[in-house]
Structure 1
Amino acid sequence: MSEMKTGIEKLDKAVGRAGDSILPFLLEHAKKRAVSFHMPGHKGSKIFERFGYGDFFRRIADCDITEIRGADNLFRAESIIDATMERYRKLYGSRRSYLLVNGSSCGLIAAILTLTRRGDKIIMARNSHKSVFSGVETAEAIPVYAYPEMLGSYGITGKISAEEIERLLVENPEAKCVVLPSPNYYGICSEIEAIAKVCHGHGAKLIVDQAHGAHLIFMERNLSAELSGADIVIGSIHKTLCSFTQSAIVNVMSDDIDIDVLEENLQKMESTSPSYLLMGSLDINADIIEKHGEDLFAEWGENLDHFYGESKKIKGLKIIDDEFLDRTKINIDMSALGYSGYDLENIMIASGLYPELVTADILMCMTGIGNRREDYDKLLDVLRELPPRIGAGRWACSGNADIGMNKRSIMQTNEIARDSFSEGKNKEIVCDSISEDKDSEIARDSISEDKDSEIVYTPIPGEKRRIPLCEAEGEICAQALVPYPPGIPEICPGEKFTKELVDGLLSMRQNGVNIIGISGAGTVSVKK
C-alpha cells in the first residue's frame, strides 16, 4: 500500500491538487512546457507560432465576438463561415461539410436523429462513445449491439467486422442505419469499406464516428471513412489536428442524405452562441493544412517511423500492433519488466510527459500534428531508462488484462483516468468487493463469461432511485455508468446489473477509476 500512496502523491504533485481553480492550474501547467501525448493535436503554441498565427493569439479576447454584422451565422452560413465550410468540403471531398462547436458529440446525435425515427432499429457498436447512446435515446430508437473483436491478450476492443454487421442486418432487416467508431480509442479501425457495402446492400446508411481519425485522409487513406463509402462521417479536428478543443466537423459523403433535416438537427444540438474562437481555430487548421499539410504529414509519418524503429531496440518493450491500427496511437506495454500502465503513467508525468490513457497493462500515447521529433525522443529516453522491476509492488506484473466483452453481459474495460486519484468530498459507502490478494487479477476477472445472462433492454425508466453500487445486482440501470476516458458506457439504461458487472465496477473504484454516474457516496441510479 505504501507504493500506491507514493504513486498517488507523485500524481497529485504533477497534475495539481484539489482546491486550485481552473486558471491557476492552466497557467502553472503551461509553464512546465510539458510534452503532450494527449489531445488536442496541436500540442500547444509552437505550431501556431511556426506558421505565423501569433496575432490571433495576442488578440484572442478581441476576437471573441458574436454574430455582429459581417460575421455570418453558423446556422445560415452565407459568407465567412460558409467559406471555411467550403475549405473543409474540398479537403475531405465531401458533398457538404459543417463546422461543430459542441464537439463530435453533437454531430453524432444530429446524424442519428436525421436517419432514425421513434421505434426504428439502429445497429450500433457496443463500444460506441456515450454520445451515440445519448443520440439513440433522444431519437427513441431501438439499439441492436454490434460487438467488436477483442485483442485477447490485453482485453481491449479491436475492429468490428463486416460479417458482424451482415449478420445483424440479416436478423434485423428493418434497421435504418449503422453507427460505429473507426478508429476506436486505441486506434483500431474497422473494415469500413466492406461494412459500407454491406449496409448499402441492405438499404441501410452508415454513420462513422471518426472522432479520433480526422487525420486519416491525409496520412493513411486506406483507413479513411470518407474514402471508404460511409454516408456521414464525424471528425474531431481538435483531437489530432490543430484546432481548439471542442471543435469538429460533419462530412456528408452521400447524395441521398436529407441536408435540410440534418441542418435542422444540428441547430437543435448546437449552442445558439457558437464560439468564434473555436470556428476561427477551425479556419486556422484548414489554412495550415492547405498551405503546409504535405510537409507536416510527411514529418509526422517520419517521426512515427523513427519512434517505432527505435522502440524495437528497447528490451522488454512491446508496442501493440494490428492490421487495422492507426499508428498515430502508440500503445505501450512494459509488463515484461514489471511495469503496469499506472506505473508508466507516474513515471511519464514525473518526466514531463502526459499520456492520454492507461489500462492495467497499457499506456497509450496519442500523437498529433503538433508533436515534434524531440517529443518522441524524450519518450524513447524514458522507456530506455526503465530497469527491470519484476515483483515490485502491487501493480507490477499485473498479468493478462483480457477481461473480454461478453455479448450476453456487459463490457468491462478497466481504463484508469488521468485524474483518477483525486479525493472525493462525500462520505464513501463501504461495500464488500474483490479481496486484496486478487489485485493482480482484477482486470482479468472483473467480468467473467456468463452464458446464462442476457442484456435486458427496456424503455428508459421514468421513476428512479439511488442505491449503493454493492446492492445493485439484479436491478435495472436508470443512468449510464461511464468510465472517462474513454467515455464508453459499461452499462446503459435498461440493462441489468449482473454480479460480474457490480464486482468489476467496485474493483475499478477501488483502483481510483473515475466513473460518471456513480456518486461520490458510491450510489447508482436504478429503476424504481
Structure 2
Amino acid sequence: MSLTQERAPIYEALEKFRKMRVVPFDVPGHKRGKGNRELRDFLGERCLSIDVNSMKPLDNLCHPVSVIKEAEELAASAFGAAHAFLMVGGTTSAVQSMVLTACKRGDKIILPRNVHRSVINALVLCGAVPVYVNPDVDRRLGIALGMKVPQVEQAIEENPDAVAVLVNNPTYYGICSDITSIIELAHRHNMLVLADEAHGTHFYFGENMPPAAMRAGADMAAVSMHKSGGSLTQSSLLLSGENVNPGYVHQIINLTQTTSGSYLLLSSLDISRRNLAMNGREIFRHVAELAGYARDEINRIGGYYAYSRELINGDSIFDFDVTKLSVYTLDIGLAGIEVYDILRDDYDIQIEFGDIGNILAYISIGDRKQDIERLASALAEIKRLCRKSRNGMMTQEYINPQVAVSPQEAFYAPKEQLPIEKTAGRVCSEFVMCYPPGIPILAPGERITQEILEYISYAREKGCQLTGPEDPKIRLLNVLEPV
C-alpha cells in the first residue's frame, strides 16, 4: 500500500491483530486483561487487547522494518524532516538522544541556561561541556527570554570548536528566539543546530505560527506530541535532517530507550500524526482563537497580565507562541504558584504550572470555550477574595549561573552533604528545580550563591514543588568536596 497521510500503519496493524484469535504465550503477563480484572475494568478491554509485545506483524521499535518504519516515514513527511523516530520515553528521551548524537565527551555545546533538565542530564551522561548563553530577563515578568543572535555569534566566536547550538523553540512561556538566523549562523561555522520543541508541535501545522525548527533548517528537533499534538503522555518524536546519520541516531536511541515499546503509545503517535496532518491547520486556528479569547477575558479583569505578541522586540523576543496562555499574577499580590494552588484546591481547575510570578494554562486540541470562561471567572473571584499587597514579593524568576566545572565532572566527583543554608560558595553536584517547568535553579557544576539560596527558600515558602536533590525534603544538598 502507498504511504499517504491518511494512513496510520501501526493502528491498522493493531486493529488487524485485535480481530485475530491469537492465544498469547508471551508478555505482558496480564494476557490481554484476562489475568487482571481490576486493571481491565479500569482501563478497558479494548485498551488491554492492544497492550502487546513486539512480534513480526507489529514490527519492533528497536529495529523497525515494517509498520513502525512506515509510521516513522509518515511522521518525517508530515513534519518536514528527513527522518523521524517514534519515542516512548517522553521528550526527555528525545532530547537526550539528540544531545548524545551531536556530542561526545569533551565537546562543547552552546545553549541557553534556561533549558529543561533533560538537556543537562544528557551532558552528565556524555561528558560534553556547556557554553551557556545567558538570556536577557524581562524585569517586569521575571522570565528568561530567548537567545539574541549577537549573543550566539559571540559564543561561537569565543568557542569555534563547539559542535552544536541548542535552541528552545519556544520556551515554556511562549518566547521564541530567531531560530532561522541562529541556524544560518551555526551552519556557517559547521555546527549542528538542535531544537527543544517540547512545546512546539503546533508550529508544524498551524497558520501564522513561529518558524518550526526542521522547516527552518535545524539538524534535529525533539517534539512533544503528547503536549499540543494530542497523543498519550510519554509519547514523543525525534526528528532529524539530511546531515545527520539516521543509523547512528537509532544506535544512540537504543542505548537508553526500552526494548519493550508500548503499542498504546506508538499507536497514539500514529493516530495523532494522522489527525494533525489532515486537520492540524483547522485545529490550531481554533486553539489560537481560544487562547486569544482567554487573554482578552483575563486582561479585562484587571490586575492580571496575559501577555502575547506585544512583547516582540525582534531580538530576545523574536516571536511569540500565541497558543500559550501565560499570565503574570504579582500585581494582585499573589505568586503564580499561589494562584495555581488556589485554582486546583478551591475551583477544581488544574493548570500547567505556577512559578514565582506567572501561571501557564495550557490551551490545546481538547479545550472548549466554556472551559476558558470557567478559568476566567475563577481568576476574577481569586482577585476579589485573595488580593493583597505585593510588598516583599520576589520578582526574579531566572538567576544567571556561575559554572565552575562540567555537569558530568560535578555529578560523579567526590561530594559531601551539607545543610542547604550552609552551602553558599560551594559547587553543587546535583539538581535543584521547581517542577514543572523543570528548568534547574541549580545544576551540577554550578556555584551556589546566597541569591540562589534565598530564591529556593522563597519558592519553598510559596509552595513550589522542589525536586532534584538526593534528600527528598531538600534540607540537605550535595556539594563537591573542597580541593
- What is the TM-score when the length of structure 2 is the normalising length? 0.82
2:237 equivalent in structure 1: 249
Call closer, same or farther: CA 1:385–1:472 in 2, change over 3 Å.
Answer: closer
Question: What is the DSSP-based 3-state SS (H/G/I as helix, E as strand, rest coil) of the residue aligned with 2:417?
Answer: strand
Q: 1:66 aligned to 40, 53, 63, which one?
A: 53
Q: 1:329 aligned to 300, 304, 324, which one?
A: 324
Shift, 1:487, TM fit: 1.1
Q: Distance in 1 between matches of 2:281 and 2:451?
A: 49
2:138 matches 1:139: no
Shift, 1:469, TM fit: 0.5
2:461 matches 1:513: no
Q: Contact 2:294–2:373 at 8 Å: present in 1 too?
A: yes
In the TM superposition, structure 1's runs of 4+ consecutive aligned residues that sit over 6 Å from their partners are: none
Question: Could you say what the CA RMSD is over the residues aligned between the two structures, in angstroms?
Answer: 2.2
Q: Contact 1:155–1:401 at 8 Å: present in 2 too?
A: no
2:453 equivalent in structure 1: 502
Q: How does 1:428-447 map to 2 (within 5 A)?
A: none
Q: How does 1:355-394 map to 2 (within 5 A)?
A: 355-386=351-382, 388=384, 392=388
2:146 matches 1:156: no
1:185 equivalent in structure 2: 172
Q: How does 1:275-314 map to 2 (within 5 A)?
A: 275-314=262-301
1:475 equivalent in structure 2: 426
1:208 equivalent in structure 2: 195
Shift, 1:334, TM fit: 4.2
Call closer, same or farther: CA 1:390–1:335 in 2, change over 3 Å.
Answer: farther
Number of paired residues? 424
Q: How does 1:20-59 map to 2 (within 5 A)?
A: 59=46
Q: Distance in 2 between matches of 1:246 and 1:391?
A: 37
Shift, 1:399, TM fit: 6.5
Unaligned segments of structure 2, at least 5 residues: 1-42, 313-318
Question: What letter matches 1:64 in structure 2?
Answer: D
Shift, 1:188, TM fit: 1.0
Q: How does 1:211-226 map to 2 (within 5 A)?
A: 211-219=198-206, 220-226=208-214
Q: 1:524 aligned to 472, 477, 481, which one?
A: 477
Shift, 1:203, TM fit: 1.1
2:336 equivalent in structure 1: 341
Q: Distance in 2 between matches of 1:482 and 1:307?
A: 29
Q: Distance in 1 between matches of 2:375 and 2:111?
A: 36
Shift, 1:237, TM fit: 0.4
Question: What letter matches 1:330 in structure 2?
Answer: L
Question: What letter matches 1:235 in structure 2?
Answer: V
Shift, 1:333, TM fit: 2.8
Q: Contact 2:104–2:127 at 8 Å: present in 1 too?
A: yes
2:156 matches 1:169: yes
Which digits, 9 at most, give the CA deviation of each residue in 1:23-74, with x for residues without a partner? Answer: xxxxxxxxxxxxxxxxxxxxxxxxxxxxxxxxx9650011100112311011
Q: Distance in 1 between matches of 2:331 and 2:177?
A: 29
Shift, 1:293, TM fit: 2.7
Question: What letter matches 1:353 in structure 2?
Answer: I
Q: Distance in 2 between matches of 1:311 and 1:342?
A: 17
Q: How does 1:419-430 map to 2 (within 5 A)?
A: none
2:396 equivalent in structure 1: 403
2:183 equivalent in structure 1: 196
Q: Distance in 2 between matches of 1:325 and 1:284?
A: 28
Question: What letter matches 1:251 in structure 2?
Answer: L
1:456 equivalent in structure 2: 404
1:261 equivalent in structure 2: 248
Question: What letter matches 2:275 in structure 1?
Answer: I
1:7 equivalent in structure 2: none
Question: What is the DSSP-based 3-state SS (H/G/I as helix, E as strand, rest coil) of the residue aligned with 2:84?
Answer: strand
Question: What letter matches 2:396 in structure 1?
Answer: I
Q: Contact 1:340–1:397 at 8 Å: present in 2 too?
A: no
Question: What is the DSSP-based 3-state SS (H/G/I as helix, E as strand, rest coil) of the residue aligned with 1:61?
Answer: helix
Q: Contact 1:338–1:388 at 8 Å: present in 2 too?
A: no
Shift, 1:204, TM fit: 0.6
Q: Distance in 1 between matches of 2:397 and 2:286?
A: 37
